[in-house]
Amino acid sequence: MKVAILSGSVYGAAEEVARHVKQLLGDASYEVFFNPRARLADIQAFAPDAFLAVTSTTGMGELPDNLMPLYSEIRDVLPAAWRGLPGAVIALGDSSYGDTYCGGGQLLTELFAELGLREVLPMLKLDASESVTPESDCEIWVKSLINALGK
């Protein structure tokens, strides 16, 4: 199975989580696409069977700049070939931001719904005010993702 990781990061924490998940999925024999500056054409060329978003939140509930071009392209096109594919979201945020906590992950969850992706697991929220080890914190959730995706 081919999994495309869509990743947004300002200071690198979400990118590190995405790299770690790429490794875990690779160890489980998935073929993984991950490029923090990916554009729509790159993802379409990869022809994924499943999607994983790993993004932090910046500003007041906004997406990191590196994900904005891809996010906008996907929203404009809403590729019909992706409809019905499995998808899941890992959101890094900080609960001290209150209402905008994990707003970036929320935007990706909404985009996945617009695309008609099948949400195979509830969004994982990684709270920077609770833990400084988001990479190890995501591992149990990633195991559940692997179970949900199958081979």
CA distance 4 to 45: 11
Q: Is 150 left (phi over 0), alpha (psi -120 to 50) or beta?
A: left
Binding segment for ligand FMN among 9-17, 36-44, 109-117, 143-151 (CB under 6 A)?
9-17
Instruction: Report if residue 20 touches ligand FMN, rule: CB under 6 A.
Output: no
Tokens encoding 2: 């081919």
Nearer residue to ligand FMN within complex by CB, 19 or 118: 19
Instruction: Report if residue 93 touches ligand FMN, rule: CB under 6 A.
Output: yes
Nearer residue to ligand FMN within complex by CB, 64 or 87: 64
Instruction: Report if residue 59 touches ligand FMN, rule: CB under 6 A.
Output: yes
Nearest distance, CB of residue 134 and ligand FMN, angstroms: 7
Q: Which of 3, 4, 6, 14 binds ligand FMN (CB under 6 A)?
A: 14
Nearest distance, CB of residue 56 and ligand FMN, angstroms: 3
Residues that bind ligand FMN (CB under 6 A): 9-15, 56-61, 64, 92-94, 97, 100-103, 128
